[in-house]
Structure 1
Amino acid sequence: MDAFGLLLPHLDERQQRLMLGAAARVLGHGGIRMVAGAAGVAESTVSRGKRELEHAEEPAGRVRAPGAGRKPLREADPGLVPALLALVEPDQRGDPESPLLWTVKSTRNLAAELTRQGHRVASDTVATLLKAEGFSLQGTSRTTEGARHPDRDAQFRYINDQVTAYLADGQPVISVDAKKKETLGNYAVIGREWHRAGQPVQVRAHDFPEKGAQKAVPYGIYDIGADTGWVSVGCDGDTSAFAVATLRRWWNGEGHRRYPHASRLLVTADAGGSNGYRVRAWKKELADFAYESGLDVTVCHFPPGTSKWNKIEHRLFSQISINWRGRPLTSHEVVVSTIGATTTRSGLSVHAELDPGAYPTGVTVPDTVMERLPLTPHEWHGAWNYTLRPEPLAPEPPPPSTEFGRFPTGDKLPAWLRHPSLTGLEPAAFDDLAVRYRAWRAEHPPIFLPGKRPDGGPGAGGRRLSVSDQLVVFLLKRRWSMTNTVLAEATGLAKSRIGATLQEVTPVLTALGHKIPTGALTVTTAQQLAAIAGHDPTLP
Structure 2
Amino acid sequence: MKSEKQIREQYFQILPSLDERGRREWAASEAMAIGYGGIALVHRASELSLMTIRRGIDELRERDGEEIESPRRVRRPGAGRPLKVAEDPTLLSALESLVEPEARGDPQSPLRWTLKSLRILAAELGELGHTVSYRTVGHLLKKKLGYSLQGNAKKLEGAQHVDRDAQFRHIASQSKRRIKAGEPVLSVDTKKKELVGLYKNGGKEYRPKGEPLPVKTHDFKGELGRVSPYGVYDIGDNEAWVSVGISADTAEFAVHSLRRWWQELGQERYDSTSEIFVTADCGGSNGYRARLWKLELQELSDELGIAISVSHYPPGTSKWNRIEHRLFSFITLNWRGKPLADYRTVVELIGATKTQEGLQVHCELDQNTYEKGKKVTDNEMESINLHPHRFHGEWNYTIKPRE
How far apart in 1 are the matches of 2:266 and 2:184?
8
Q: Structure 1's 110 and 199: CA in aligned 2 closer, same or farther, altered over 3 A? A: closer
What does residue 32 of structure 2 align with?
none
What does residue 304 of structure 2 align with?
293
What does residue 315 of structure 1 align with?
326
Tell me, which stretches of 5 or more residues in structure 2 are unaligned?
1-13, 28-43, 57-74
CA contact (8 A) 2:224 2:342 kept: no
Deviation for aligned residue 1:377 = 1.4
The amino acid of 2:134's aligned partner reads S
Three-state SS of the structure 2 residue aligned to 1:336 is helix
How far apart in 1 are the matches of 2:166 and 2:204?
41
Three-state SS of the structure 1 residue aligned to 2:380 is helix
**Does residue 278 of the first structure (1) align with residue 265 of the second (2)?**
no
**Does residue 254 of the first structure (1) align with residue 258 of the second (2)?**
no
What does residue 155 of structure 1 align with?
167
RMSD: 2.5
How far apart in 2 are the matches of 1:262 and 1:343?
27
Deviation for aligned residue 1:92 = 2.2
CA contact (8 A) 2:232 2:240 kept: yes
What does residue 429 of structure 1 align with?
none
The amino acid of 1:318's aligned partner reads S
Summarize the alignment of residues 481-520 of structure 1 with structure 2, pairs less than 5 Å apart.
none
**Does residue 239 of the first structure (1) align with residue 250 of the second (2)?**
yes
Three-state SS of the structure 2 residue aligned to 1:91 is helix
How far apart in 1 are the matches of 2:338 and 2:271?
39
How far apart in 1 are the matches of 2:258 and 2:22?
74
Deviation for aligned residue 1:65 = 4.7
What does residue 532 of structure 1 align with?
none
How far apart in 2 are the matches of 1:4 and 1:271?
66
CA contact (8 A) 2:286 2:293 kept: yes
What does residue 324 of structure 1 align with?
335
What does residue 51 of structure 2 align with?
59
Once the two structures are superposed, residues 53-85 of structure 1 have per-residue CA deviations (whole angstroms, 9 ceiling, x without a partner) of 998754365598521454312122111111111
Summarize the alignment of residues 70-469 of structure 1 with structure 2, pairs less than 5 Å apart.
70-132=81-143, 133-210=145-222, 212-391=223-402
How far apart in 1 are the matches of 2:168 and 2:210?
50
How far apart in 1 are the matches of 2:293 and 2:213?
41
Q: Which has the higher contact order (CA 8 A, sep 6+)?
A: 2
Three-state SS of the structure 2 residue aligned to 1:338 is helix
Once the two structures are superposed, residues 244-265 of structure 1 have per-residue CA deviations (whole angstroms, 9 ceiling, x without a partner) of 0010111122112101111111
What does residue 49 of structure 1 align with?
none
Once the two structures are superposed, residues 116-136 of structure 1 have per-residue CA deviations (whole angstroms, 9 ceiling, x without a partner) of 111111111111111122111
How far apart in 1 are the matches of 2:20 and 2:172?
60
The amino acid of 1:218's aligned partner reads P
What does residue 68 of structure 2 align with?
none
Once the two structures are superposed, residues 203-222 of structure 1 have per-residue CA deviations (whole angstroms, 9 ceiling, x without a partner) of 22222333x44222211100
Deviation for aligned residue 1:198 = 3.2
What does residue 70 of structure 2 align with?
none
How far apart in 1 are the matches of 2:45 and 2:375?
80
The amino acid of 2:51's aligned partner reads P
How far apart in 1 are the matches of 2:186 and 2:329?
17
How far apart in 1 are the matches of 2:183 and 2:249?
28
Decide which moves more: 151-160 or 195-204: 195-204
Q: Structure 1's 213 and 254: CA in aligned 2 closer, same or farther, altered over 3 A? A: closer
Deviation for aligned residue 1:7 = 4.6
Q: Structure 1's 57 and 70: CA in aligned 2 closer, same or farther, altered over 3 A? A: closer
Once the two structures are superposed, residues 466-522 of structure 1 have per-residue CA deviations (whole angstroms, 9 ceiling, x without a partner) of xxxxxxxxxxxxxxxxxxxxxxxxxxxxxxxxxxxxxxxxxxxxxxxxxxxxxxxxx
Three-state SS of the structure 1 residue aligned to 2:153 is coil
Q: Structure 1's 269 and 169: CA in aligned 2 closer, same or farther, altered over 3 A? A: same
The amino acid of 1:178's aligned partner reads T
TM-score normalised by the chain length of structure 1: 0.62
How far apart in 1 are the matches of 2:162 and 2:22?
64
TM-score normalised by the chain length of structure 2: 0.82
How far apart in 1 are the matches of 2:339 and 2:353?
16
Once the two structures are superposed, residues 272-291 of structure 1 have per-residue CA deviations (whole angstroms, 9 ceiling, x without a partner) of 11011111111111111111
How far apart in 2 are the matches of 1:243 and 1:144?
29
The amino acid of 1:365's aligned partner reads V
Q: Structure 1's 123 and 187: CA in aligned 2 closer, same or farther, altered over 3 A? A: same
What does residue 31 of structure 2 align with?
none
Q: Structure 1's 53 and 121: CA in aligned 2 closer, same or farther, altered over 3 A? A: farther
The amino acid of 1:135's aligned partner reads Y
The amino acid of 2:121's aligned partner reads L
The amino acid of 2:254's aligned partner reads A
Tell me, which stretches of 5 or more residues in structure 1 are unaligned?
19-51, 393-540
How far apart in 1 are the matches of 2:162 and 2:19?
60
How far apart in 2 are the matches of 1:328 and 1:292?
39
Three-state SS of the structure 2 residue aligned to 1:59 is helix
What does residue 417 of structure 1 align with?
none
Deviation for aligned residue 1:237 = 0.6
How far apart in 1 are the matches of 2:393 and 2:101?
46
- What number of residue pairs does the alignment pair up? 353
The amino acid of 1:330's aligned partner reads A
